[in-house]
Amino acid sequence: MSNLNPVRLIATKRDGKALALDDLRAFIDAYTGGAVPDYQMSAFLMAAYLNGLSDAEAAALTDAMLQSGTHIDLSSVSGIKVGKHSTGGVGDKVSPILVPLVASCGVPVAKLSGRGLGHTGGTLDKLESIPGFRTSLSVDEYRRQIDDIGCVIAGQTGDVAPADKKLYALRDVTATVDSIPLIAASIMSKKLAEGNDALVLDVKCGRGAFMKTEADARALAETMAAIGAEHDVPVTAVMTNMDVPLGRAVGNWPEIVEVIECLRGEHDDTPLMRIVRALAGEMVALGEKAESAEEGEERVQQVLDSGAALDRFFQFVEAQGGDRGLIDTPSARDGSEPVAVVRAPDDAQGYVADLDALAIGHAAVDLGAGRRAKEDDVDPVAGLSDLKKPGDPVAPGDVLARLHTRTPSAVEDVRAAIRDAYSFSDEPPEPVAPVRARYDTSGWSDV
Ligand code: URA
């Protein structure tokens, strides 16, 4: 560990002073290698949590975590590769729509995704609900697929940012997860390892998101963009609303069914597809297949209308071993039919006024769509479908949601929780913009 003195480094951060960046890198390397114990790293994390990190410190921390593992090299793949990351939400099925959609506009997209975290679902769990779908790919398979069909979504192997894995586990048990620079460094260390040339971030904001306030969402977006800039990776961030679930399905297979419907053009005029088009437009522009995000959105609409995006989704599912027949006929999936419905109570007259995304996220986990403990298996068919959403007309006895699960004992509690997640009013609520703002090197702008 050369001349590094961990106690002095911890004291520097404790006193709110600037760290020497080489010392910070050496400290992370030493921790990953086992030369710095958990108790010293815990003290450092709490000092960083309380006093923050400068952009330069956050970038150095990211770099050290990135360099601790594999940095996938996609330079042999032609074109500007553009990645995407969402900070996570309820019903967030954007990636399986967006990745083949953007690829069908001529922009390659390689993505390492995660599993469900708390009340938020995980893209890997959703994709693995397609029988046969493999998310565990070798780096060669990942590279080959992006070369062949322009898109791939895989799980993170243990080789990607192992320092982050070790640090995240420690943060989880030392109350230091909720720190904007630590979250930004953690996410960016994995995003930079994917091998893309540019990145679009979907920074979710609201009660169903990790960032509950707009101020925190802005700070996270700005910190991640600054880290990208330090690594010569241009980043555009789009802040999107996460007060209510995204779309009308939440869970694993139920969300895949909605993905297919979206790509078939059945939900074009919805908040979900407005978010997909906004992110896709930015990605197509960063990939230099359009002059601007607006022109990118036009290109995106063309490939949706022509069926090219749906075809690319079929190719993507087949390339990763998924059952193509079920994608054509989703209702044929074994055990996928609803086992119960939730009906509107007697006082439900008029309109749905509000629907709490956090409560719906917990309900989906209780049905088996997510994990309570790290080692839990998820139920591939579990979740909710046909959710009524704010602004929908409602009358007593109407279906508010359909429940899918292989754990029927969960149904009664979930049914009560879902009813509580709704409120009703005589007048329709004010519509909320799904896309709130965008950020790039020229600053924030409205959309
Ligand atoms: N997701 C991550 O990958 N890291 C964090 O710190 C928080 C969310």
Query: Thinking of the domain 82-157+187-329+435-446, which architecture would CATH place it in?
Result: 3-Layer(aba) Sandwich (3.40)
Distance from C-alpha of 401 to C-alpha of 378, rounded to nearest angstrom? 20
Give the domain 335-425 fold.
Aldehyde Oxidoreductase; domain 3 (3.90.1170)
Q: What is the DSSP letter of 170?
A: H
Which of the four pLDDT bands, split at 50, 70 and 90, describes residue 2?
low
Between the alpha carbon of residue 48 and those of residues 30, 180, 184, 185, the distances in Å are 18, 10, 13, 12
Ligand 1, atom 3, residue with closest C-alpha? 187
Binding pocket residue ranges, ligand 1, CB within 6 Å = 168, 177, 182-183, 186-187
Instruction: Supply the residues annotated as catalytic.
Output: 85, 164, 171, 186, 190
> Is domain 6-52 classified as CATH 1.20.970.10?
yes
Average pLDDT, the chain: 95
CA 170 to ligand 1 centroid distance, Å: 12
User: What is 89-123 written as a DSSP string?
Assistant: -SS--HHHHHHHHHHTTT--EEEEE---BTTB--H
Q: Which atom of ligand 1 is nearest to the CA of 182?
A: 6
Taking 50 as the threshold, does the pLDDT of residue 1 lie above it?
no
Ranges in the chain annotated CATH 1.20.970.10? 6-52
Q: Which atom of ligand 1 is nearest to the CA of 114?
A: 3
* Most ligand 1 atoms within 8 A of CB, residue of 66, 182, 186, 190 to mutate: 186
Ranges in the chain annotated CATH 3.90.1170.30? 335-425
Q: What is the DSSP letter of 430?
A: P
Q: Taking residues 164-189, what's their average pLDDT?
A: 93
User: What is 215-235 written as a DSSP string?
Assistant: HHHHHHHHHHHHHHHHTT--E
* Most ligand 1 atoms within 8 A of CB, residue of 53, 176, 187 to mutate: 187
Using a 10 angstrom Cβ sphere, with 0-12 exposed, 13-18 middle and 19 or more buried, the burial of residue 411 is middle
Distance from C-alpha of 8 to C-alpha of 303, rounded to nearest angstrom? 57
Q: Which atom of ligand 1 is nearest to the CA of 183?
A: 6
What is the pLDDT at residue 114? 86
Ranges in the chain annotated CATH 3.40.1030.10? 82-157+187-329+435-446
Ligand 1, atom 6, residue with closest C-alpha? 183
Which of the four pLDDT bands, split at 50, 70 and 90, describes residue 45?
very high
Give 25's contacts (C-beta < 8 A, 6+ positions apart).
60, 63, 64
Note the pLDDT tens digit of each residue in 217-248. Answer: 999 999 999 999 999 999 999 999 999 999 99
